[in-house]
Amino acid sequence: MSDDRDGDEHELRVSKIRNGTVIDHVRGGQALNVLAILGIDGSQGEEVSVGMNVPSDRLARKDIVKVEGRELSQDEVDVLSLIAPDATINIVRDYEVVEKHRVERPEIVEGVLSCPNTGCITTGDEPVSSRFEVLDDGVRCTYCGTIVREEIASLIDT
Ligand SMILES: [Zn+2]
């Protein structure tokens, strides 16, 4: 019985928003980077709730981000996968989870991150959009070869 109760409690926690997206199983401490990727800083009046370092079965500690009134695009999910590879995306409509997706790491992300190398062709005046190959532990600029492993969220071109 106690198992069932825990399950219900979990569902309740996940589906508390009315319409929008719940990003679950974000690695502990990455919730604010998730918000940065989504371009959410609260200035537009977005209704967002964030749970940080919540105990989890799958991860030792996880963060949860709930965004009311917004369903994530595939592009957004692709970039999220770079910092939250274990995340689950729950699309909620009328308090019900109607879709559940695991994120998949793309092989290439284009036009989303900016290269930290100021000499890179993608950071100059040339009309070349950025292109990064996704590695197991980071991303690599396909133009200049710069590899970024830390602070990938800070490269997001907003
Ligand atoms: Zn580059």
SS3 of 16, please? coil
SS3 of 85, please? coil
Looking at residue 12, its pLDDT comes to 47
Written as six digits, the tokens of 135 are 């590695």
| pLDDT tens-digit readout, 75-97 | 788 788 888 888 999 999 999 99
Topology alike, domains 2-102 and 108-155: no
CA 61, CA 52: separation in Å to the nearest integer?
A: 8
Cβ–Cβ under 8 Å, residues 89 and 72: yes
Residues with CB under 5 A from ligand 1 (ion): 115, 117, 120, 141, 143-144, 146
CA of 118 to the centre of ligand 1 (A): 8
CA 47, CA 51: separation in Å to the nearest integer?
A: 14
DSSP state of 156: B
CA 156, CA 158: separation in Å to the nearest integer?
A: 6
| pLDDT tens-digit readout, 9-63 | 554 455 578 999 999 999 888 898 899 888 888 888 889 999 998 888 777 889 9
CA of 116 to the centre of ligand 1 (A): 7
CA of 120 to the centre of ligand 1 (A): 4
CA of 95 to the centre of ligand 1 (A): 43
CA of 45 to the centre of ligand 1 (A): 35
CA of 136 to the centre of ligand 1 (A): 18
Looking at residue 7, its pLDDT comes to 47
Looking at residue 55, its pLDDT comes to 86
The CATH number of domain 108-155 is 2.30.30.40:
no
Q: Is the pLDDT of residue 102 over 90?
A: no
Written as six digits, the tokens of 97 are 């989870």
Domain boundaries defined on the chain: 2-102, 108-155
Q: Where are the alpha helices (DSSP H) in the chain?
A: 2-14, 31-37, 74-83
* Top-confidence residue, 47 or 152: 47
CA of 121 to the centre of ligand 1 (A): 7
Q: Nearest to residue 79, comparing CAs of 114, 47, 51, 46?
A: 114
CA of 129 to the centre of ligand 1 (A): 10
Question: For the domain 2-102, what is the CATH code?
Answer: 3.30.70.140
Looking at residue 76, its pLDDT comes to 81
Q: Nearest to residue 70, comparing CAs of 48, 99, 52?
A: 48
